[in-house]
Amino acid sequence: MRILSEKRVPSHSLVPYVVTAAAVSAAAVAGAAAVDPDSTWYRRLAKPAFQPPPRAFGAVWPPLYASIAWAGGHALHQATGRRRRAPAAALGANLALNTAWNWLFFRAQSPKAGLVGTLLIDLSNLVLIRRTADVDRAGAWALLPYAGWCGFATALNAAIVKRNPALHRHSGASIAAVRCVVRAP
């Protein structure tokens, strides 16, 4: 995040918010490119009773993405000098994992790889919240709904893995999918 100088950002500056909004928007668009809830593969998956309808995901993610962008922007605005690096790096890693999950689950058609991905997101959320809290408590609090939703998504993903045991026969494909996303530029 070279755009932000080593000095404190002026109180009227919107730069940190613009930077984080752009990063979150890019992650959302890149992730959405892999999602196809109308695919035959996805429709055939056995899903738990607590699976929300597809429209619920469309209603939940925009405010969550907005809160991530605000929290990141606010934390970067509050931090000075090198203290910006940790929350910026944590946010970047988290957004990369968030994007990767869509590709692992939907594009690779691997709920098992998706489960690995969502567990990594959960760990990344803990790091992101901690790094944000180190410079900005309000930003850390704003990330809690996102972390909660991701925890729910992990339970949902795990339930889908459990209800679709025939998909486990191709566990090598799941591991290959994770490796492919991890190596992606």
Q: DSSP string spanning the chain?
A: -TTS-SSPPPTT--HHHHHHHHHHHHHHHHHHTT--TTSHHHHHS---TTPPPHHHHHHHHHHHHHHHHHHHHHHHHH--GGGGHHHHHHHHHHHHHHHHHHIIIIITT-HHHHHHHHHHHHHHHHHHHHHHHTT-HHHHHHTHHHHHHHHHHHHHHHHHHHH-GGGGGGHHHHHHHHHHHHH--
Residue 19 predicted with pLDDT over 80 = yes
| 169 CB-contact burial (10 Å; exposed 0-12 / middle 13-18 / buried 19+) | exposed
| pLDDT tens-digit readout, 119-155 | 999 999 999 999 999 999 999 999 999 999 999 999 9
- pTM comes to 0.84
| pLDDT tens-digit readout, 56-76 | 999 999 999 999 999 999 999
